[in-house]
Structure formats: structure tokens, C-alpha cells
Structure 1
Amino acid sequence: MAPQRFHEQFDQIQRSLPDVPLAMGPDDSAEFIYEKGVVLARDGEEAQVVEDAVRTHFTATEGLTADHVRRAGPRANRSGITRIRVGDPGEGGRAADHAVAGALRALRETEGRAGRRLVSRNHVVSIAVNACPGDEPVPAPRTGPANPAAAGTAYDPARAVGVLVVDTGLTHDYRSYPLLAHTEGDLQVRETDEDGVLQQYVGHGTFIAGLVAAVAPNTDVTVRGTLNDAGAILESEFGERLFDAVEDGWPDILSLSAGTSNGRVDGLLGVAAFMDELRSRHTLLVAAAGNNASAAPFWPAAYAALPEHADAVLSVGALRGDGAFGACFSNHGPWVTAYAPGERLVSAFTGFGTPVPYVYQHSTYEACRYGFSYSCTCRSPRHTGVLSEERHAAPGKPDQVMFEGLASWSGTSFATPLAAGLVAAHMTANQLTDPRAAARQLLAGNAEFAEVRGVHVPALLPPTWRPVPVGAA
């Protein structure tokens, strides 16, 4: 059964996508979230094959009429994906989408003959699903140092490395942070609610941009607000929005702190066209491994393990505060290329001019939900959250804090821009123009290692990063 944290995130994402009925899968588990009653197929002949196969299956086994299966759009987009309605999204609860399960079963034999995947769920791609509840930002002293601190490299516009961050947009006051002087991009559409309280995930993209700039000051960082809507987007839209993000030109490095698992080892149908295009470009995709504490492939990061994409993708897991071991929440496995610090980093947030209140959404635990014995972000610092208390019969009062510029935050979301920054810094230091070659050199020359689930893995540690002591739980 899915843990409470996953149900809390499910509720939050459902509120952000009110017109999209959602389900969790593959059953009442915490592996992923997807659109109810809809499957994805490639445009053209394959979409017709899917429609015909599903229509035949349902008519024979479920007693449904032939017009029950129909196209739901979008069509003729660059990602080449069509949504096909296969069931009534109003039927069943969040763990009972029998129509989609039946549609997937109907295509198994056909897919086997074709030698490729023809149909997929329409997954929700998110920056936070199933993350540890301590992953919400914590106020950091405005006068205190960032972690990592700014590197000493001077900014040279003629040689600056282009880094594109696809995330939530920039907060309105981001230019108050000196390291973001050369950062451009989309502003967050709506930062606060009607009461002036900061909404969840606002500042995520700003925090990431600050980390890139700290590790690699000689960068031109652009932030796209692709995930402004509570950090979540449907797979059917995500591929198209990735193409939108690079419409003005492909960057040297694309930093992406979002994804989803899907129960498979061959990627996401909705981003297949983008990933194929990426292969023909010079861009390096640096992608977060995800915060599910799982070995299940998390996409797009897990493309790093597919031979045809390995050169173009660097997948990044998170290390705990001292850098010696993996963070309790970090995904792991052979598909993760390297690990970088991911606990209690300090970077730009919001509230530089006027302090901004934030109410916690998730409550911390008495002990690490993954069974780790160190003082992890699952349990410290302690706070009570709105979404957690909504599920209690006798709810308590959620905690509120004030942000005045900087925040401390944890997640593979933030290990990722550290790795992206290290690649960019290596390009600058060695006068390289090929980010993929720079990533290969960086990894080949790396002498740092950490232990993750009993395995020694490459640890990418920025020179200005300061280890944070971890105590026993």
C-alpha cells in the first residue's frame, strides 16, 4: 500500500491538475501517478493499431461498445504522441483504473511481434513525487554563507557556458542574489496564495540556478518555468514542452530535476522524440535520479544506462550531508552515473526585500521512513504540515516560517545542478566546448567515492562545498 507521503503528494498534484483525473500505479503502490482512462501511442499507423487492438479487446472481454475507444489528442505535435481515451476517468478510485490496465494487456502480444513499445500510461512527471517529507525548504540566515560557496572563476561572456534549467520559474526578486546577475528566464507565474503565503515548490528553479552559478560562475543560466504548476506535468505535454524550452537554441547543458518511474526499462514514450533529437545535438542532459529511495529506473535520468543515450545523459543521485554515503531518499542503481551532495544545501530562494511566509505541507517523521539511522531530512528539522494533518482525525496546527532570501533544501533536485555546474566549470577550466567530452573527462579524473547501499560510487564534490555533520538518530 502507498505510504501516507505519497497520498499527500497525490492530493497536492491532483489539486494542481484539477481537470485531469489521476490514478496511482501500477496498483495501490507508490511507484508513479498517471492520467486515468487514457493511454499514449505514437501518431499515425501505431495509434491506429492501438485503437483497433484496444477496441477489439474491450468489445470481446468487457462488453463495451466500439466507440468507447477514441482519440483524445493532442495530435501533430513535435513529440509525435496521441492520447487515446480507453475508459471513463470517473470510474474507480485512485488505485482502480482497470480500463488502462486492460488496454496495456491488449497490446502485449502486438508489441512482442513489433519488437517495440506501442502503448503507455500517461504518467505525471514531477519534481517531488514520493520525496522524503523533510525536502521542503528551511530558512537559512540571510547573512550566512551559501553552500557551496561561490567559486572564484570570473565571468567572461565570450566564453560563458550555456546552462538551461527546466523547472519552476524564477522568483520575482532573484536578481537580489549577486550570483544570479547573469541569469535570465521565466518568472514564476504565481508565487503566493490569497493570504500572501508562499506556495509549494515556488523557488525551486531559483534555488537550482543559484547552485549552478555558485559552482560555475562563468555560466549563462536560463530558467524555463515548464513546471510552474506545482512541479507537475503530464508526460503527453512534457515532451512538447521540452522542445519549447530549446526552441531558441540548444544549450551546452540542460539541468533537469524532474521525472517519473514507469515500471519499465525502455524510457518514456512521451519524451522519446525529444531524446532522439538530443542524441543528434551537442547538449548534455544532467538529470535527477529521483527521491523515491528506489532502484527502479527514474526517467529521463535512467536514459544514462541505455547505450544509445549514455553519452548524452548524466544521471545524478544525492549524497547525505557529510558526502560519505547516499542520502536516505536518493534513488540508486546501475543507471545512476554519479552522486553529488544533496542534503542541506544553501542557495537563493526568495524574500530578499520583504520576508515571505511559508506554511509546511508535510510533517516530518519520528524516525527515517527508510530505516536509516543518521539524522536525515525525514525527521529533522521537525515540523508539522498541512497535507499530513488533513489526513488525521484530530489535525494539529501546521508550522509557519519566514524566508528572507536564502534557504536550506535537500533532494536529488539539488545534487543535479551541482553536477551540471561541475561539468560547466570543467569546460571553462580546460577551454572545452563539448559538454559531453567534459563530462567524460570529469568522471575519468574524479578521485572521490562514496558508499551507496553497499556499493562504491563516483562522488562529485564541488571544491567550495562544505560537509554538514550528520548525527545519529
Structure 2
Amino acid sequence: MAPQRFREQFAQIQRTMPGVPLAMGPDDAGEFLYEKGVVLARDGEEARVVEDTVRQHFTTFAGLSADQVRRAGPATNRSGITRIQVADPGQGDGSGDPAVAGALRALSATEGRAGRRLISRNHVVSIAVNACPGDEPVPVAPGGQPNPAAAEAAHDPDSAVRVLVIDTGLMHDHRSYPLLAHTRGDAQLEECGEDGALKQYCGHGTFIAGLVAAVAPNTDITVRGTLNDAGAILESEFGEKLFEAVDRDGWPDVISLSAGTSNGRTDGLLGVDAFMRELREQPTLLVAAAGNNGSATPFWPAAYADLPGYENAVLSVGALRGDGEFGACFSNHGGWVKAYAPGERLTSALTGFDTPVPYVYQHSTYDSCRYGFTYPCTCHHPRHTGVLSEDGGSAKPDQVMFEGLAQWSGTSFATPVAVGMIASLMTAQAQTDPRKARRQLMDTTTEVAEVRGAHVPALLPPTWRPVQISPPSARA
């Protein structure tokens, strides 16, 4: 049986968020995850309108008790978002949530009259895009080199570009990697499980920091562990965490964000609305991953790059495959994706510099590309069997050892490559405005790639080397 990545990750993320029942949406289509039985509204008058409207809807049409509709938590200090419970989240399974769907329908006419969004699901924002990564990391033998390779530039603390990485935290041995000697931030929580094996997604933030440092050595990189728990956080908490990250160290030059969610809409995420509006007024540039769904559906926050007023504040980044000439099979695409960078089989720091660390694969590869591509993509090469999708215990999951560097794929990693190119341009031209640097980079980029029949800007660092993969042999 083919791997069921979405359902595998649904179960895994649910285990890392105890006490938060989750559902799949929309209905059971498997496009995103959200908190069961709860909706979001802005605090104050809008929250009251949502409560009253939903309560009337359920009492009149659904036959439910009106007291089921109640506030499930206070508004946050900065995001101004209130969680409103509309049903018992413990009822039913994760395949859809009729109560939340009913609440959204009840407010549709009111939203139309108000001219703005009043209610939202409480989505799960995650680095596990479509609840699965582009692939899982692959070890690089000792003596291997990063790709992109380290650029020849010195680190100058007086002129270094300030980059904030919102992701998982730093691995304990990250300073053993020379490019990360100046990196600081939060430690990765629980790197290994009780079996001593590396947990899924651990090292994600370290890998990203290594890519930024390779492309742009003159950077001061701070990594915040906002997404330590399987790379997932509720939308109602995410906006507040973003504020905490910038409040802690001040607004940086560039934010690198390799997380998000789709939501079936074209107007952004209610839970991060306050943060995005404040971002727009700051000089900071947000560079965000377009997502690995292989879809044209907007993925947030990256898709803010296509909304009026955010054109200069946000750059959305898709992934190119190993040759740099075409889009990676998993990369989201469409007019809202403004640039593409190498994102397949990049090499950067992971862990195991001090002591080799085992890793057991969680997902099995496919027999062919799950998106219908014919090149040897990460869907099926290299082959491995994972714990979550082994068939009835008949196949033993594959285990590998990490000893420093790894190869990894995803728009998660195309994003820091783009961040590095912007930071490198800022250093080369003594530019202090990251948004101007973004425009200069996009205006002067001459490389193009083909993505789903469209020609798109390709951001190719000078030290990046194309990765050519021979067609994989059939599984024995």
C-alpha cells in the first residue's frame, strides 16, 4: 500500500499536541489541520458578534444547546484573538468537524455585510507542510561539503545583516560547524527519544541557519525555537509567538520562516493578522516558504506576498529541483509565489558533529512520484521504509547515522537560500534596507526556471552546485 503521508503526520502531530483534539479540513479532504470544536475571532465587538450569531444558528437550526458556544480562552496581548468553543471537541473523530463548518457558514452573510473576515478555524501552522516534508534528511559521509558551499566573505559584527530564523531550535553541537560559530538562539528541545534516535524534524532550524551562513557569511543569525514540537503550533498561538520573537531581540533585517498552512481562503490568517500589519510598518523583510503541497492553493504567511500592501514586505519562495532548471515536484506554485531557489538535495549542518546520532525513518518512500513527475525526485529516491507506514509490521524501518552534514529537500530550505542571497547583496552593496535589496535582487536576476509551464525567477547562489541524480533502480 502506498504511504499515507497526511494521515501519518496527522497522528504524529496529534501525539505532540496532547489535549488539543485536531481535525482535517476542509471536511476530510486532507488539505490542512485545525483545532476541533473551536473558532477564532478578534477580541471585543467582533468576538461578541461571532458568539451571538453562532449561538443563534446552533439553537435555531442545529438543535444544539446554546451553552456549548462560549469563549475557550482569553484574547492574547498582541494578536487580539479569542478562541470560541462551538462544540465538544472530544466528540467524533478527526475527519472533519460539522460544528466548526456550521459556525463558518453562520457568519458568511455577516462577513459579507461587514466587508471583512470575522471568523476562522484555528489552523495548525507547521513545518510539516501538508503534514509531510518534501522528504526526510539523508546522511552525508564525513568529509562531505555543504551545498551551497561557503561563500568567501568575512564575518564583520559591525556590518553583519541581522537574520531571525523562526523554526525549531539549535542542536547542542551546532557550534562544531564553523559556519555557525556566530549563531545564537534557543536550544532544540528533546533532540532524541527514549531509544536514543533523533526525533523527526530535529535539526530543521540548524540546517536552515547553516544554509543562510553558507550563502551569506556576514550575517548575525538568531534561531528561535517557536516550532520545537514536531514543527507545529496552533494559529491562535503563532501570532503571539512571532511578536515574542521580534520583541526579544528587536526587529531584524530579515525573518526566515519555513512554516505555514493553507486555509482555503485568499485573505490570510486571522491569527497572524496583527503581526502582519505591524510587519508592514517595519523595515523588516519576511522571506517565507511557499509550502510542499505540490499545489497552487495559497499557503500562509508566504502568500501575503500577493496581497496589496505586502508586496515589499514579504517574499514567497518556492523550490527548484536539483538541476535548478525546473520546479521541484513537491513545491507549491502559482502567481503568489514570487521567486524560486534550489530546494532539492541541499547539504547543510544537522547534528552528530560531536557524536554520531542514529535516525529511524518515519515515512516510506513511494514507488513513483506522488505528483506524477518522471525525474528521480525525493518521493522515491533514495528508497527507505518508515515506522509510520510499514505494512502490518512486515518490513523493518530503515535506520541511518548522522555525523554532521545532511542532505534535505523542501521549500523550507529554498527559503534560507533566498535569505542568504538578499543578505549577501546587502553586504556587497553596503545596503541597509532589506526591502530595497530584495527589489534589487529580483530586478537584476537573469536566471529563469520552468515551473508548471511558467518561466519564473531563479535565485541561484554562485556557490551552489547542481545535483544530478541517476534514475533509481527498482526496489528489490
Residue by residue over 1:146-189, the C-alpha shift from the partner in whole angstroms, topping out at 9 and shown as x without a partner, is 00000011111110000000000000000000000110000001
TM-score in terms of structure 1 length? 0.98
Matched residue of 2:401: which SS? strand
> What is the CA-CA distance between 1:396 and the residue it aligns to?
1.4
Contact 1:320 1:327 in 2 (8 A): yes
Matched residue of 1:130: which SS? helix
Superposed CA RMSD: 1.2
Amino acid at match of 2:59: T
Is 1:223 aligned to residue 209 of structure 2?
no
Is 1:322 aligned to residue 323 of structure 2?
yes
Residue by residue over 1:350-377, the C-alpha shift from the partner in whole angstroms, topping out at 9 and shown as x without a partner, is 0001100000000001100111000000
Seen in structure 2, the aligned counterparts of structure 1 residues 404 and 69 have a Cα distance that, compared at 3 Å, is same
**1:116 aligned residue:** 116
Seen in structure 2, the aligned counterparts of structure 1 residues 291 and 76 have a Cα distance that, compared at 3 Å, is closer
Is 1:268 aligned to residue 269 of structure 2?
yes
How do residues 196-211 of structure 1 correspond to structure 2 at under 5 angstroms? Answer: 196-211=196-211
Contact 1:166 1:226 in 2 (8 A): yes
> What is the CA-CA distance between 1:395 and the residue it aligns to?
3.8
> What is the CA-CA distance between 1:68 and the residue it aligns to?
1.0
Seen in structure 2, the aligned counterparts of structure 1 residues 138 and 159 have a Cα distance that, compared at 3 Å, is same
Matched residue of 1:377: which SS? coil
Contact 1:133 1:362 in 2 (8 A): no
List, as ranges, runs of 4+ consecutive aligned residues in structure 1 with deviation greater than 4 Å.
131-134
**2:430 aligned residue:** 431
Amino acid at match of 1:322: D
> What is the CA-CA distance between 1:91 and the residue it aligns to?
1.6
How do residues 443-462 of structure 1 correspond to structure 2 at under 5 angstroms? Answer: 443-462=442-461
How do residues 59-98 of structure 1 correspond to structure 2 at under 5 angstroms? Answer: 59-98=59-98
Contact 2:341 2:460 in 1 (8 A): yes
Contact 1:131 1:292 in 2 (8 A): no
Contact 2:3 2:365 in 1 (8 A): no
Residue by residue over 1:5-43, the C-alpha shift from the partner in whole angstroms, topping out at 9 and shown as x without a partner, is 100110111011021000000011121000000000000
Output the CA distance in 2 between the equivalents of 1:227 and 1:395: 33
Amino acid at match of 1:82: T
> What is the CA-CA distance between 1:132 and the residue it aligns to?
5.9
Identical residues among aligned pairs (%): 76
Deviates more, 1:342-351 or 1:68-77: 68-77
Contact 1:134 1:381 in 2 (8 A): no
Output the CA distance in 1 between the equivalents of 2:369 and 2:76: 47
Consecutive unaligned residues of structure 1, counting only runs of 5 or more, are none
Output the CA distance in 1 between the equivalents of 2:129 and 2:362: 13
Consecutive unaligned residues of structure 2, counting only runs of 5 or more, are none
Output the CA distance in 1 between the equivalents of 2:186 and 2:296: 34
Output the CA distance in 1 between the equivalents of 2:132 and 2:91: 31
How do residues 115-134 of structure 1 correspond to structure 2 at under 5 angstroms? Answer: 115-130=115-130
Amino acid at match of 2:107: L
Seen in structure 2, the aligned counterparts of structure 1 residues 336 and 92 have a Cα distance that, compared at 3 Å, is same
> What is the CA-CA distance between 1:470 and the residue it aligns to?
3.7
Amino acid at match of 1:169: G
**1:166 aligned residue:** 166
Output the CA distance in 2 between the equivalents of 1:199 and 1:472: 30
Contact 2:41 2:120 in 1 (8 A): yes
Contact 2:6 2:132 in 1 (8 A): no
Amino acid at match of 1:333: G
**2:342 aligned residue:** 341
**1:213 aligned residue:** 213
Output the CA distance in 2 between the equivalents of 1:74 and 1:406: 44
**1:41 aligned residue:** 41
**2:147 aligned residue:** 147
